[in-house]
Chains A and B, each alone.
Chain A
Amino acid sequence: MMKINLNDKILMLIVTVVVLLAPFILQPFAEGTALAQFNAGYPDLLQRIVIFGIFAIGFNILFGLTGYLSFGHAAFLGVGSYSAVWMFKLLSMNVIPGILLAIVTSGLFALLIGWISLRRSGIYFSILTLAFAQMSYNLAYSVLTQFTNGETGLQIRLSDPRVLDGAATNGTLPSTNILPPSLVNGFEMRDTYQLHLGNWLFQFNTGYYVTAVILILAFYLSLRIFRSPFGLMLRAVKTNQTRLNYTGINTRPYTLAAFVISGMYAGLAGGLLAAMDPLAGAERMQWTVGGEVVLMTILGGAGTLIGPVLGAGFIKYFENIFSKINDTVLHHWFSFLPDGLQNFAVDLIHPFVGKGWQLTLGLIFMAVVIFLPGGLVEGSQKLAGLFRRRTKKTGGGPDEQHHPKTTPHVAE
């Protein structure tokens, strides 16, 4: 028992260190070199990775533990963003009230949708959540435009009241902050400290560290849920609801609680997206965005603690890198080839990069579902297992009984 706790502490420590040092770790290449385009240590991308990490951690609490596959979580992301922007418009550019409201409204919204959708399970549940997501998108895009500003999206304006901040003084749009600039400077979300070390440039952004701390908290919370009796019940829901009912457990409140918690995570992520860039559009609610978080969770490993964060990082990183690769870059890469071959190689890769990134993403997704249902985490465990077997031929490895397989398969 102590051992498991120790492992969790180590995991927690690794996550904390990696997240806090990410501006260093993801910036391994010097500026101006050919490899610099593979750097990811700049604030915008880092924040996106972390925010989608939070989104996926929350989604995993529902899908990874209970097996209920929701396609509707984009709706909560969108509701979170709208709530936060409204808070920026009405109350203050400080992100804390915005984020809090985002969590509360998305939680309430999740309670309503979950209460209805969880009356059914399996495919019906997936389709119901899909329908709700699409309905929310339609509502945001063309019906409730007085709240969402429809197509244009909700933005902050100079004329907004912002009762706590007082009137804008210098005629420029204010930016989001974690501590009001009237008290301390340097705590606006966009503030970045740049560190030049030789040819390397490292950027430390306030917004990133705010989201990073929230990610660490969110991860810790998810770890506690995984290790709690509540988490045990959720895993039991996934494996046998019938037995659970005949054991005196009412499964509905458990699944509903998991749904609401994961909806609140999604709302938090939506609030943070708005805190990073104070606007909210309906496209954030499209069900394909909900599909993206499913993808991240599966890719990393549904039902594992670290998987969703890995999946989110992987997808957001490669999205960014792949989208930047255009034909000029490709020609540069293959410049060592003779002209004809070079053009051929470029033509071959062209559909998968740049605007074709989605195609690559779809292929990766299919490959993971077909060949690696446990995601990256299971994949790395298998690799590690192969490696261990090769090094310890005597068979003195830890026995199976004390290391039960902890990654349940993606299941209904």
Chain B
Amino acid sequence: MSMLEIKNVSKHFGGLKALDNVNLSIRAGTVHAIIGPNGAGKSTLLNCLVGKLIPDTGSVMFDGNSLLGIKPHEINQLGVSRVFQTPEIFADLTVLENVMIPCFARRDGAFRLHAFETTEREGGIIEKAEQILIDVTMQDKRHMHAGSLSRGDKRRLEMAMCLVQDPKLLLLDEPTAGMARADTNNTIALLKDIKAKRDITMAIIEHDMHVVFSLAERITVMAQGTPIVEDAPENIKGHPKVQEAYLGTQAA
């Protein structure tokens, strides 16, 4: 069963064709990597999935719902969470508060005027938040300001914020960009652990082939705004079309 079904999606910026008739299907429960050279349209595609951009044509179906024309928060409420290339966290809030907010969002929906409850007495929420911090081994930093965390910790925090929502689909935009090798390996381990423990589908955009081949069960290669190959990782290595795309030799 496919969790995400992208059909005939195109997106133009002025004269530039960022996405050209993209068809892509992501099966439930898999880790699906999207790779490709710079300017292949990977990030544009991701932005079309989360409601930041609206495609010119085509359809995006997620778990039986269309994602087109609805707002980012509505898409999230359907069960899609996103990790950004530069971590988007609440820098002025504490680590614990950072993970509590997604818990509230899951429990209370897009808006609730809970002005007379006391945050500290929200039993279920606090426990859930503390648990996810244990899962990402950040429990000892829970009272720190998120803005003062190291880059690696910010990334872990952002992942925790997404995971605590129990998303059906987790979108990761270069989750190891700018990381040192050790941090990258930690992230790989963390994602593997998440995958083992939860029923989750992941779509991951990544440049680091080490990460891609450590995690992905399925790989789509994009070039010039369109997917050119989709296959299992072992078949992708050495695929002639992929080499063409990366080395820039034009196919006829």
Contact = CB atoms under 8 A, between A and B. Distances in A.
Direct contact between the two chains A and B in their complex (CB within 8 A)? yes
Interface of A: 1, 4-5, 224-225, 227-233, 235-236, 238-240, 242-251, 253-254, 257, 261, 401-402, 404-405, 408, 411
Contact of B101 (A233, A405, A408): A233
Nearest to A238: B92
Nearest to B146: A239
A228 B116 contact: yes
Contact of A243 (B88, B104, B116, B145): B88
* Residue picked from B90, B105, B141, most chain A C-beta under 10 Å: B90
A249 B119 contact: no
* Residue picked from B91, B92, B100, B115, most chain A C-beta under 10 Å: B115
Interface string B157-189: 000010001000000000000000000000000
14 contacts: A227-B119, A228-B119, A229-B114, A232-B100, A233-B104, A243-B88, A243-B90, A245-B71, A245-B76, A246-B73, A247-B73, A248-B73, A249-B101, A402-B143
Interface residues of B, number: 43
| Nearest 4 A/B pairs, CB to CB | A248-B76, A250-B110, A248-B105, A230-B115
Contacts of B125: 229
Q: Give the interface SS of chain A, mostly helix, strand, loop or mixed.
A: helix
Given A248-B105, A248-B165, A257-B113, 15 more contacts: A229-B100, A229-B125, A230-B112, A231-B119, A232-B93, A232-B100, A236-B97, A240-B90, A242-B88, A243-B88, A245-B76, A246-B72, A250-B71, A404-B143, A404-B145
A408 B82 CA distance: 26
B113 A224 contact: no
Interface of B: 50, 71-73, 76-77, 81-82, 88-94, 97, 100-102, 104-106, 108-120, 122, 125, 141, 143-145, 161, 165
Contacts of A411: 92
Contact of B120 (A227, A233, A401, A404): A227
A404 B89 contact: no
Contacts of A249: 73, 101, 105, 110-111
A402 B140 CA distance: 11
A144 B140 CA distance: 61
Contacts of A230: 112-115
Nearest to A229: B114
B27 to A, nearest CB: 24
Nearest to A245: B72
